[in-house]
């Protein structure tokens, strides 16, 4: 009942799961400043207590003692100074966000806002400002003759604010550099793989699906989405445990990141206990929202990295596109190292309980390089970089992935307009392709492509 009285902007946090709420709060600008403001109020109470109650000036050297009038003037002056620094910081923040949105991707804004360095800088400014305001409120009419803790702390906070201002400007300009942006996007995606996906999925994956209760599958029951939205989060661990208790197998018909309409099938289930299943508890394990999130969605991180490359192509900036391609290649190694491409999740008794939508290495390769390839069109320089990156991936990856990598590269060259290639463009493109063909043992295919390239130019 009380939740209905809250504004929608606050109410939504109480409707989220603990994990989702923590993620969303950390993406907001007010999270860290509130922490610093709370600490600043505590600090103000401590310093005022030292000066007005403990009277620490009696035990301090004369050098540190400041009269009440001078202390009042100091605090009032620093109020304006810290406020000015905060205003400049906010202005710099807006400039950074505008550039990010226009030049790279609007989906990157939250990455800069949620960056710990950004959050701490804003927190320090807000906390310092609140501190001097609180101090000024209590010393304005004070009859105390000398102060020590208050002026020393105030000067120290002003000094910290000045250093933080310089640090924030350096942080913003450094963060905006292309190689740092692409590296940051790649690290976010790797974190999703290493922490979220490994903890949520890899511990339960199995390639052996021995008992899928096929005799019960014909009577499978379907559970529909209760509202429209993006599939943001699935509590796989709880779902597996509840499916074990109910003695059923659950098959998901959508994956994290997919958009679904109210009434669409989210999952189906079958098994000996299917008739006694409480569908409401499974609904609570699946979160739907109005936007995509990165908690379990590796694709979103790959999309953002691809968008940087696509934006660079539209701005005639091949170097940025190349950097995005290189970071994507490194991300593909992480995908291969930490993701087992099997849809079966089992319980502790080795019984399959959840079946995901099938994914493959080809799928992630398409999501990573396919979008850039599409928008590159006949940009032979970028296509060459993609082939070169695939060759590096093939050299470092398991040989079982060589066939899909070669097919992707071969299909890419099938749509190249051979007649418009300059001689050196052709030379370097074929050189990269030859390296990939040698690594993947596809030399005969390479020679066919090479012959087709030269026969089309004669």
pLDDT in tens, the chain (458 residues): 455 555 555 555 556 666 666 666 666 777 888 899 999 999 999 998 988 888 887 877 877 777 777 777 888 888 888 888 777 777 777 776 776 666 666 666 677 777 888 888 889 988 988 998 888 888 766 677 788 888 888 889 888 988 988 888 888 878 777 777 777 777 777 777 776 677 777 788 888 777 888 888 888 999 999 889 999 888 888 999 999 999 999 999 998 888 999 999 999 999 998 888 888 899 888 988 888 877 777 777 788 888 888 888 887 888 888 988 998 998 888 888 777 778 899 988 889 999 998 878 888 888 889 889 888 887 888 899 999 999 999 999 888 899 999 999 998 887 776 666 778 888 888 899 999 999 999 999 888 888 887 775 54
Cβ proximity of 408 and 365 under 8 Å:
yes
Domain assignment present for residue 372? The answer is no
Question: In a 3-state reduction of DSSP, which class is residue 253?
Answer: coil
pLDDT of residue 218: 84
Kindly state the DSSP code that residue 441 receives in the 8-state scheme.
T
Residues 106 and 16 sit within 8 Å (Cβ to Cβ): no
Q: Are residues 246 and 385 in the same domain?
A: no
Q: Is the dihedral of CA 208, 214, 215, 219 positive or negative?
A: positive
Residue 151 and residue 56 share a domain: yes
Residue 325 lies in a domain: yes
CATH code assigned at 236: 3.90.1170.30
Residue 107: predicted pLDDT? 64
Q: State the Cα–Cα distance between residues 33 and 441, nearest whole angstrom.
A: 57
| Domain count along the chain | 3
Domain for residue 437, yes or no? yes
Contacts of 225 (CB under 8 A, 6+ apart): 260, 261, 262, 263, 264, 265, 266, 288
Q: 319 with 218, same domain? A: yes
Domain boundary among the residues 360, 385, 415 is at 360
**The token pair that represents 283 in the structure block:** 């609904």
Q: What is the pLDDT of residue 141?
A: 67
Check residue 239 and give its pLDDT.
92
Per-residue confidence (pLDDT) for residue 116, from 0 to 100: 83
Q: 335 CB contacts (<8 Å, ≥6 apart)?
A: 193, 298, 361, 364
55 and 136 housed in the same domain: yes
Which of 360, 394, 411 corresponds to the end of one domain? 360
The torsion angles phi and psi of 144, rounded to 5 degrees, stand at -65, 140
E strands, 238-361, in order:
249-252, 259-260, 265-270, 286-289, 344-346, 352-355
Q: What is the pTM of this model?
A: 0.74
């Amino acid at each position: 009942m009380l939740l209905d009285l809250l504004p929608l902007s606050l109410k939504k946090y109480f409707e989220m799961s603990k994990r989702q709420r923590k993620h969303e709060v950390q993406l907001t600008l007010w999270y860290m400043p509130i922490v610093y403001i709370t600490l600043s109020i505590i600090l103000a109470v401590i310093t005022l207590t030292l000066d007005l109650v403990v009277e620490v000036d009696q035990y301090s050297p004369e050098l540190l003692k400041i009269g009440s009038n001078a202390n009042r003037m100091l605090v009032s002056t620093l109020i304006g100074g810290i406020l000015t620094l905060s205003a400049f910081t906010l202005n710099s923040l807006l400039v950074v966000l505008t550039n990010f949105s226009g030049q790279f991707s609007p989906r990157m804004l939250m990455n800069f806002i949620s960056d710990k360095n950004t959050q701490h800088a804003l927190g320090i400014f807000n906390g310092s400002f609140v501190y001097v305001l609180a101090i000024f409120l209590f010393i304005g009419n004070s009859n105390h003759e000398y102060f020590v803790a208050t002026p020393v702390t105030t000067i120290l906070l002003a000094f910290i604010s000045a250093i933080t201002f310089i640090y924030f400007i350096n942080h913003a300009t450094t963060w905006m550099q292309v190689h740092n942006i692409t590296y940051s996007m790649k690290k976010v995606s790797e974190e999703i793989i290493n922490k979220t996906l490994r903890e949520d999925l890899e511990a339960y994956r199995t390639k052996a699906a021995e008992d899928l209760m096929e005799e019960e599958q014909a009577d499978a029951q379907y559970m529909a989405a209760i509202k429209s939205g993006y599939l943001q989060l699935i509590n796989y661990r709880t779902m597996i445990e509840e499916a074990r208790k109910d003695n059923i197998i659950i098959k998901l018909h959508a994956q994290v990141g997919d958009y679904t309409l109210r009434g669409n099938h989210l999952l189906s289930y079958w098994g000996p206990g299917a008739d006694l299943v409480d569908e409401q508890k499974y609904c609570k394990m699946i979160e739907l929202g109005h936007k995509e999130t990165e908690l379990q969605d590796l694709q979103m991180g790959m999309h953002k990295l691809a968008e940087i490359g696509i934006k660079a192509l539209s701005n005639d900036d091949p170097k940025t596109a190349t950097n995005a391609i290189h970071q994507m290649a490194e991300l593909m190694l992480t995908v291969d190292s930490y993701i087992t491409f099997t849809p079966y999740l089992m319980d502790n008794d080795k019984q399959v309980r959840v079946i995901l939508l099938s994914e493959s290495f080809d799928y992630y390769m398409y999501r990573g390089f396919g979008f850039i390839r599409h928008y590159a069109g006949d940009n032979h320089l970028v296509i060459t970089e993609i082939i070169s990156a695939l060759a590096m991936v093939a050299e470092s990856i398991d040989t079982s992935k060589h066939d899909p990598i070669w097919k992707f590269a071969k299909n890419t060259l099938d749509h190249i307009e051979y007649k418009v290639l300059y001689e050196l463009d052709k030379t370097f493109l074929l050189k990269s392709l030859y390296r990939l063909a040698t690594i993947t043992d596809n030399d005969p295919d390479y020679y066919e492509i090479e012959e087709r390239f030269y026969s089309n130019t004669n």
